[in-house]
Amino acid sequence: MPALSRRRFLQTTATCALATLLPPRQARANPLGLPLGLQLYSVREQLEADYAGTLRQLGALGYREVEAAGFNGHAPVEVKALMEAAGLRCVSAHYPASQLQPNLPAILQFHKDLGTAPFIICSSPGFRHPPSGKAQAAELTLDDWKWNAEQFNQWGKQVKDAGFQFGYHNHTREFVPQNGIVPYDQLLQNTDPKLVIMEMDCGWVTVGGGSPEHYLRNYADRIKMLHVKDFAAAPGRISASNPPPAAELGRGTANYREIFAAVKPGAIEHIFVEQEAYPDLPWVEALRADAEYLQKMRA
């Protein structure tokens, strides 16, 4: 066996063995007292290689709720069966604006058939007048953000009429002021609270220069779900396109003790770990560390 292939074989075998030997868990995300959740973008490559097996490993780690970032071509009945077999429940799913615009009716039907995912979340905004070519890297203007708020209200009405809840997930650019206006504030002011909730990604807020504590204290009625991720210190790397290196929860720069202390009791409905890369540990060990951090923490 070639050295590289043998190394990958040994790494895979060790990872599977680790998941099998993990001790029983309470599967609660303390201090919020919620089921332990994971955004499946964290294991996008693993799901592509082995959808059912990866879900089983997540269940063994103690995760109980998941948020999808695509369904890898599986039909709703397959997704539901595989989730149940792994001890998981899909409660939410991400879609970029570019998918929601032409495909919302089909997305709503998929969620109706799935039957377990009441939240439909826009994971990235769109441009009012889409740029072309190299201009795709252009920043959204305040006019773009206002237009996105209008789109979110329209989609939110359609989603609500279908029996679901629409929301928006932030990255970093929402917190970079333009002419003294913070785009995230503009989204909050121009979206209907009955139609659009916020899923706050605490890690990206911090990297973008915002304060999760400020928004959790002042907009408790708008923020219904949390993403929790951590980053190592890396001066100058402050955007989603040039982020700091990922770190396991509690091993980076985010102060989750203060963030969780700012949460109004009962305001958050779901909490999802999201780790987008694994620079230090194999993915199973990293997600195990994230789970243990949340389970042990007390505000």
Q: What is the pLDDT of residues 178-204, one digit of tens each?
A: 999 999 999 999 999 999 999 999 999
Q: What is the pLDDT of residue 130?
A: 81
CB 126 within 8 A of CB 95: no
How far CA 251 is from CA of 43, 126, 231, 248, 289, in Å, comes to 20, 33, 8, 5, 10
Q: How much is the mean pLDDT over the chain?
A: 90
Q: Which range (44-58, 106-120, 130-144) has the least confidence?
A: 130-144
Is-above-0.85 flag for pTM?
Answer: yes
Q: What is the pLDDT of residue 134?
A: 52
**How would DSSP label each residue in 243-295?**
PPPEE-TTSSS--HHHHHHTSPTT---EEEE-----SSS-HHHHHHHHHHHHH
Q: What is the pLDDT of residue 51?
A: 98
**Rounded to an integer, what distance in angstroms lies between the CA atom of residue 233 and that of residue 182?**
24
Q: What is the pLDDT of residue 299?
A: 60
Structural domains for the chain:
33-125+144-296 (3.20.20.150)
Report the amino acid identity of residue 39.
Q
CB 109 within 8 A of CB 162: no
Q: What is the pLDDT of residues 50-95, one digit of tens each?
A: 999 999 999 999 999 999 999 999 999 999 999 999 999 999 999 9
**Rounded to an integer, what distance in angstroms lies between the CA atom of residue 274 and that of residue 282?**
15
Residue 135, pLDDT > 60, answer no
